[in-house]
Structure 1
Amino acid sequence: MDITILSIFPKMFQALNESLIGKAQEKELVNIDVVDFRDFTTNKQNHVDDAPYGGGAGMLLQAQPIYDAMDYVEKKKPGKKRVVLLDPAGKTFNTKMAKDFAKEDQLVFICGHYEGFDERVKDLVTDEVSIGDYILTGGELPTMSMIDATLRFVPGVLGNSFSAEEESFSNNLLEYPQYSRPADFRGKKVPDVLISGDHEKIRLWRLEQALKKTLERRPDLLEHASLTDEEKKLLRKIRQNN
């Protein structure tokens, strides 16, 4: 996978050279380039923003430097691209979107700043995406979050190929509780079923715990979950016992 990020704060993305993403780059599972679109300004002041027509508070990112930066990216990396604009008004990012992004050969993220974008920038993009109903100072942090979530679904990035499938939200269920050694820590004991050695009982316990946690904390997720007959039966049992 090839990822390009357009930002006026390229140093922020040094964090992507660490941990699993850094290792994925070393293994050449993903290539990440950051393009500073300030380098493409044509005015003497090197500004990438200007006041909006019609007046109003704040400054808008201009279309020209972003268009020219995208022209540069296209010449350097020809081919079909999925271009993501970080915008608070966009669709909310989720696991399904991360899985879809992971199937792409080329992703481009355009990070906003200031009050917003010249509307014409949106003609360049395929997706307008937000990470939630709140405002940050720019699109850099949301971009890093999306890249991290997306790369977990790229084969080879995670050490355990099953990890991403078992984590929270992967099937619209929150993750079941997990424990490590020691079995008894300050009087807090690991559930007996987990040290029983009975894999079927462990599987059922984990499934029931995931359903219970989801029902308690995020019942909205169950509205969209495609539950199996086994899961529906366990869910009915949980509801009856509550």
Structure 2
Amino acid sequence: MRIDIVTCVPSLLDSFFAHSILKRAQQGGFVEVVIHDIRDYSVNKHRTIDDYAFGGGAGMVLQIEPIARCIRKLQSERQYDEVIYLTPDGELMQQRMVNQLSLKGNLILLCGHYKGVDQRVRDLFVTREVSIGDYVLSGGELAAAVLADAIIRLLPGVLNDETSALTDSFQDNLLAPPVYTRPADFEGNKVPEILMSGHEVKIESWRHEQSLQRTKERRPDLLE
């Protein structure tokens, strides 16, 4: 998989993809992440990429021309399955969506900024719009990082234990059960004995019951 991220603040993303699982995924050849600065595709010598909105109002709008140049250049070089625009009014990101996207080949993630992008960008180039929650950020960079992280960790070979992702919260519409590690006894607070029994069937049954209970208490909407 290749993920191209189009942004006007590339430095916000550099560090995010340079550590931990995301770094190993790239070094291992499981994914290629390329960050593009919209200003490199500006149509004037001042590298301007935004302007006032027609009709007035507060805030600036990202222009269509530099974004169109960038996306068209990328699309001339390879086939993309989706051009995703990160926006608060997009489809709410859920694990089901992430699972689907992890099966794709190449993705373009477009980060909004200021008051967003010229609507014609969305009309002409974007194939999917995604929101990571009902709130507004300064730009789409953090949202793009969140989406990319969720996708990349699902790619075969990225995690040392590939079954780990299958037991994450939301994979089966349940929240993950509680987990414990050493010491077994911390100031009288002990790990449930079942987890140290070595009986795999009973342990899995306990975990499933804990997942159900936690979901009922915290996210009953998932069970509906």
TM-score normalised to structure 2 length: 0.97
| Distance in structure 1 (CA, Å) of the matches to 2:20 and 2:9 | 21
Whole-Å Cα distance in 2 between the matches of residues 180 and 7 of structure 1?
Answer: 40
The residue that corresponds to 2:97 in the other structure is: 97
Structure 1 distance, partners of 2:162, 2:47, is 46
Which residue in 1 is equivalent to 2:46?
45
User: 2:121 maps to what in 1?
Assistant: 121
What CA distance in whole angstroms lies between the structure 2 residues aligned with 1:208 and 1:66? 49
Q: Number of matched residues?
A: 222
User: Equivalents in 1 of 2:31, 2:204: separation in Å?
Assistant: 34
Q: Do the aligned residues in 1 keep the contact of 2:80 with 2:107 (CA within 8 Å)?
A: no
Cα shift readout 1:150-190 (whole Å, capped 9, x = no counterpart): 11211011111100110111111000111111111111001
Unaligned segments of structure 1, at least 5 residues? 224-242
Higher-RCO chain (CA-CA 8 Å, sequence separation at least 6):
2
Alpha-carbon distance in structure 2 between the residues aligned to 1:80 and 1:203? 40
Deviations for 1:55-84, whole angstroms, at most 9, x for unmatched residues? 111111010000001112122x32133110
- Name segments (4+ residues, structure 1) moved above 2 Å: none
Query: Which consecutive residues of structure 2, in runs of 5 or more, have no partner in the other structure?
Result: none
The aligned residue for residue 153 of structure 2 is 152
Alignment of 1:109-188 (within 5 A): 109-122=109-122, 123-188=124-189
2:85 corresponds to? 85
Question: Which of these two proteins has the greater Rg computed from alpha carbons?
Answer: 1
Residue in 1 that maps onto 2:36: 35
Cα separation, 2, equivalents of 1:210 and 1:117: 41
State percent identity of aligned pairs. Answer: 44
> How well do the aligned residues superpose, as a CA RMSD in angstroms?
0.9
How much does 1:44 deviate?
Answer: 3.4
Q: Structure 1 residue 45: deviation in Å?
A: 2.6
Distance 2:11 2:192 in 1: 46
SS at match of 1:213: helix
Deviates more, 1:205-214 or 1:47-56: 47-56
1:20 paired residue number: 21
User: 1:116 Cα deviation (Å)?
Assistant: 1.1
Q: Residues of 1 paired with 2:80 and 2:208: CA distance?
A: 40
Q: Which segment drifts farther, 37-46 or 138-147?
A: 37-46
Tell me by how many angstroms 1:217 deviates: 0.3
Q: Which letter maps to 2:218?
A: R
